[in-house]
Structure 1
Amino acid sequence: MKIFINLLCAAISVFFMCGVKVDGKYRGLEFLEPCSRSDPDLEACLARSANALSEHFRHGLPQLGYPEVEPIVLDEVHISLGGGPDGYKAQFRDVAARGVSALRVTGLRTRITDDEVQLQLALHIPKIRANAKYRSSGKLILVQASGAGDYWGEYGHKYLRLQQLKMDFSVENIKMGVENVHDGNTILQAALNLFINSNSQELLKEMKPDLRRKLVQVMTSFVEKLFAQVPYDAWIID
């Protein structure tokens, strides 16, 4: 069985708290325009820099070790609906998401001291499509839904060091579906599609804690790698 998921208009809120240290190797990114710490429009300037970085990431940034950005891969996500022996449980492995590189920073707030930078970003992603391998057990809409298949739905410079990252997200529209149901049962496939799309937000709600935890892991790794290679003064000048 193949399952797909489309997320439309994903809104993401991300909070970074970073320490400032002197370490690492400098790698210049010419398209980044440093923002003056004394600029009254510092937050708007940083948002422009973040969007410039996002724009270039869509085509890959091999100088930062990212020849390709997509797909974004999550190793595993779980969902559990109901209890008892017939409660529906699903495990999604190798979740590959495409469309994330189209994100835009729509809001930014910052607090900067001599030894700490706090950033809160609001991000918007128009559409995400995800595919995964899955294994499930239990009953869904009073039919046995056990199975397995595919799921779609330079030194001396100051550097930032990530201390904490928090995030939350919401999805305006979501579309899920199944394909290639076992034994080619088109009636069962239609019933499953109707149930899944009628309850898509509830299904997403059940997936959200595990999904958010995995996304924080991926984003933490990305931000740490970015901050280790791009110095503080590429972002902000005093």
Structure 2
Amino acid sequence: MEQKSLITLLLVGLILQATETLANPKEKTKSLPGFLKICQRDAPDLNKCARESFESLEPHLMDGIPELYIPPMEPLLVPEIRMDQDSGAIYLHSVYRNVKISGMSKHRLINLTIEPSKHKISFSLTFPKLMLDSEYSIKGKIMMMPLLGDGHCHMDLTNLTMDTELNGQEYIKNGATYLKITDIKVIYKLSNVHMELDNLFNGDKVLGQRMNDFLNENWKSLSDEVRPLITKALVDILRSSIDKLFATFPYDELLPKKKN
């Protein structure tokens, strides 16, 4: 139970903080970037064009694309995360500082399908390896057991695959047609998770190693336990960025009709 709660707090907190970063770009314009390939929604090769459009973004992910609400991705830097849990058998106060997430730009697009008549977009992405590093501080109790530590946190996520489906509907704003995403579905899977928290239990190496060992030996069952929470967090990431994108640019600008 201790490790289930701990991995939940860490993963959800990191993901939600990344969401906040996505939602607040430092720079915003009203023009789509010139390097973005625009596809026509009634073209017979729409899905092929959409894939090429996605791939046109990849060289720019390192530095970020503020026009599309995408921050610098390699690494993604988060100054601070604060998480407090005070319900049931969990009482924790934790802070994670100088969080660095590496590996996000080295993704692979498996599938991308657009169905304009249904306002539906489906895509699948694989991240071979994500590495998370931060300085952490934890104080509290889990199942009446004291939990105390401060030091370095490292996490490796191997072969994270996300299958995502976006469903939307059209609406009119200022005389133009926009698309609002009404539903987002995410299914994810992992090949492996490895996590290490240094200096747990006031530096007690035996207790700290025991917790880390248990976490890494039982990562599959732990992942299943937190799946609903992580899925919701991933949906929040997508909605934060996508909602702003579709609210800024009209549907006919993002995915125009073919000109006669």
Structure-1-length-normalised TM-score: 0.67
Decide which structure has greater helix share: 2
CA separation of 1:216/1:67 partners in 2, compared to 1, >3 Å: closer, same or farther? closer
The answer for unaligned runs of 5 or more in structure 2 is: 1-5, 12-28, 156-173
Give the structure 1 partner of residue 132 of structure 2.
130
Identify which range, 25-34 or 191-200, moves more after superposition. Answer: 25-34
Structure-2-length-normalised TM-score: 0.62
Question: Is residue 228 of structure 1 aligned with residue 247 of structure 2?
Answer: yes
The answer for unaligned runs of 5 or more in structure 1 is: 8-24
Give the structure 1 partner of residue 167 of structure 2.
none
Deviation per CA, 1:75-111: give whole Å up to 9, x if none. 7597x9xx9xxx6776766695443343332102221
Give the number of aligned pairs: 206
Give the structure 2 partner of residue 103 of structure 1.
107
Residue number among 19, 24, 33 corresponding to 2:37 in the alignment:
33
Give the secondary-structure state (helix, strand or coil) at the position aligned to 1:188: helix
**Contact kept in structure 1, 2:91 and 2:140, CA below 8 Å:** yes
**Contact kept in structure 1, 2:69 and 2:241, CA below 8 Å:** no
**Contact kept in structure 2, 1:103 and 1:125, CA below 8 Å:** yes
Give the secondary-structure state (helix, strand or coil) at the position aligned to 2:190: strand
Give the secondary-structure state (helix, strand or coil) at the position aligned to 1:28: coil
Shift of 1:191: 2.3
CA separation of 1:91/1:49 partners in 2, compared to 1, >3 Å: closer, same or farther? farther
Shift of 1:212: 1.7
Give the secondary-structure state (helix, strand or coil) at the position aligned to 2:196: strand
Percent sequence identity over matched residues?
Answer: 24
Instruction: Report the residue type matching 1:108 in the other structure.
Output: L
Instruction: Report the residue type matching 1:167 in the other structure.
Output: V
**Contact kept in structure 2, 1:75 and 1:93, CA below 8 Å:** yes
Decide which structure has greater strand share: 1
Distance 2:35 2:232 in 1: 32
CA separation of 1:224/1:156 partners in 2, compared to 1, >3 Å: closer, same or farther? same
Deviation per CA, 1:108-160: give whole Å up to 9, x if none. 222112xx5200111111222235645553369xxx4622546442x766433
RMSD (Å) for aligned C-alpha atoms: 3.7
Distance 1:210 1:93 in 2: 19
Instruction: Report the residue type matching 2:64 in the other structure.
Output: G
